Copies of this chain bind each other. A is one copy, B any other.
Amino acid sequence: MRFRRSVRWAAALLLGLAALAHARQQPPIGVPAPPLGDGPWVFDTAEQHRIRVSVVTKDLSHPWAIAFLPNGDMLITERDGRLRVVSGGVLDPEPIAGVPEVRTDGNGGLMDVALHPEFAENGLVYLTYTKPVGNGMGAPSLARGRLDGHALTGVRDLLVPDYYEGNSGLNGRVVFGSDGRVYMSTGGRSQNDVENVAQDPMSLRGKVLRLNDDGSVPADNPFVGRDGYRPEIYTLGHRNTLGLIVHPETGMIWQHENGPNGGDELNIIVAGGDYGWQSVSFGRHYTGSRVSEHPTAEAYESPIVVWLPAIAAAGMAVYTGDQFPEWRGNVFVGAMTEGRIPGTGHLQRVVFNERTEEVRRESMLRELRQRIREVRQGPDGLLYLLTDEDDGALLRIEPAP
């Protein structure tokens, strides 16, 4: 009996290995996302029971970020270097001129866009982008320019880091804090996650940086004057930050970052904090081994939300509007792929109690199978999403009648 069972197991194992070898000729892993239809779609969700999702435009190429202008228009970045305008719900076919040249291969390109707090007076727009530096390499940089009609003028770099990246770790978001400073994230994923660059205090990689609006270093940065630390650093130990916002109720900086295989995390950013990558993580390396034996440690800030499996988190908004009363205070996070399976993008909603502790989570819009790259609340109290696709869409979520 036992012998027969071993034989059966050995046979199963051999068949398994054969299947594995065979699998290389199989269709790729994942569920092909069907082309996004024209919509609108009505979905039943857990608390705002009926919502309608409609397409504002599908004419975007890998859009990355949204900023709302005071007049209600939207600025939208496209990864291959265009800054677009949506006005009155219509995409302007003409991109804004004057955007700096970007490196567009790999996962770099034009990324985030943020407005100066006094944009209404000074017209200043801040952009994160991959600056080409030759040989296909890029430097994840911060530039600003003045929006003047349909062009950026006086564009100049505020930060060009002294390191270059290949195909990973190029991501950078930018947001103005409630203190008027510029917060910018830099990717901390080294090639194959081998070097622990995010922990290196002399590297700008894998950090949240804090700058004055002209790119200079504020004198009250946590590591100013400390030997062996770059003074721009505000926090350390981040992998790939794709969400960086000011929480509209507390004024704190909220950040999220992608884990590798599991361990995407949402953090509250505190000056001088170390968020652990890649000394500790809830995730696994792509090969399967744990990044760290224990996912947290005393020396590091612990995340307030963790995703296992990974969702490839991107974009973030805290809902404060009137259109969805049941969503007030909820955090929305885009998901590009879940569990490393292509075709599984969706939208996440996290509900917190009054002590900012998670009480439940909902995943929404799974039916659309889109890579959700960005989530913002509009001045109209509706939610706006971008899909990271070749024919990328701007979607609007509103209450369904």
Contacts and interface: CB of A to CB of B under 8 A. Distances in A.
Given A31-B45, A248-B9, A358 B261 contact: yes
Contacts of A1: 117
Given A27-B49, A294-B296, A352-B288, A12 B261 contact: no
Contact of A360 (B293, B340, B357, B366): B340
A203 interface: no
A320 B46 contact: no
Interface string A326-350: 1011000000001111111000000
A16 interface: yes
Contacts of A15: 322, 325, 328
Of listed A5, A13, A328, A360, residue having the most chain B CB within 10 A? A360
A249 B27 CA distance: 27
A400 interface: no
A194 interface: no
Contacts of A29: 46-47, 360
Interface in A274-290: 282, 284, 286-290
A44 interface: yes
A248 B360 contact: no
A41 interface: no
Given A284-B358, A287-B353, A295-B296, A12 B309 contact: no
A46 B31 contact: yes
A395 to B, nearest CB: 20
Contacts of A108: none
A22 interface: yes
Contacts of A293: 296, 302
Contacts of A45: 31
Contacts of A288: 352-353, 355, 357-359
A178 interface: yes
Contacts of A359: 261, 284, 286-288, 340
A24 B322 CA distance: 18
A328 B16 contact: yes
24 contacts: A9-B251, A12-B320, A13-B249, A15-B322, A16-B249, A22-B325, A26-B47, A29-B47, A29-B360, A30-B46, A261-B358, A262-B358, A284-B357, A284-B359, A287-B353, A287-B359, A288-B353, A288-B355, A309-B361, A338-B363, A339-B362, A340-B361, A341-B360, A341-B362
Interface of A: 1-2, 5, 9, 12-13, 15-16, 19, 22-23, 26-27, 29-32, 44-47, 49, 117, 178, 248-249, 251, 261-262, 282, 284, 286-290, 293-297, 302, 306-309, 320, 322, 325-326, 328-329, 338-344, 352-353, 355, 357-363, 366
Q: State the 8 A-B residue pairs at the shortest beta-carbon distance, nearest first.
A: A288-B357, A339-B361, A340-B360, A288-B353, A308-B308, A16-B328, A19-B325, A309-B361
